Structure 1
């Protein structure tokens, strides 16, 4: 058995998207564009943005226990 909100909310969202949004969106779009300027929507073109350093991770990408780097320095 499915709860009432699980049925009603998707149906109301579908009705809004299908029938009401074409009429309401042109009215609210000027206010939305003032609140969220286009500068905030642009993506940065930084080449290093998605890269992750995998030192200290096992084959699955999970961090390993113990020190991540092995030091070659001599201890006195």
Structure 2
């Protein structure tokens, strides 16, 4: 058996999206654009931005120095 909110909430969201949003959104969009202004994406002139120094890490994610040893867990 499905609970009432699991049926009612999706139906209300569908009704809002389908019928109410086309009338309400133009009214609230000027206020939303003032609160969250869009900022232009700026490209950096830094050529080394994509270069990262990656160090070797063991299985736990902790950095290790030198050669890593792979151990076989099945030792008889």
TM norm structure 2:
0.62
Identify the structure with the greater helix proportion.
1
CA RMSD of aligned residues (A): 2.8
Relative to structure 1, the CA distance from residue 44 to residue 7 in structure 2 (aligned partners, 3 Å threshold; closer, same or farther) is farther
Gaps of 5+ in 2: 67-76
TM norm structure 1:
0.62
Gaps of 5+ in 1: 72-76
**4+ runs deviating over 4 angstroms:** 42-47
**1 or 2 for the larger relative contact order (CA 8 Å, sep ≥6)?**
1
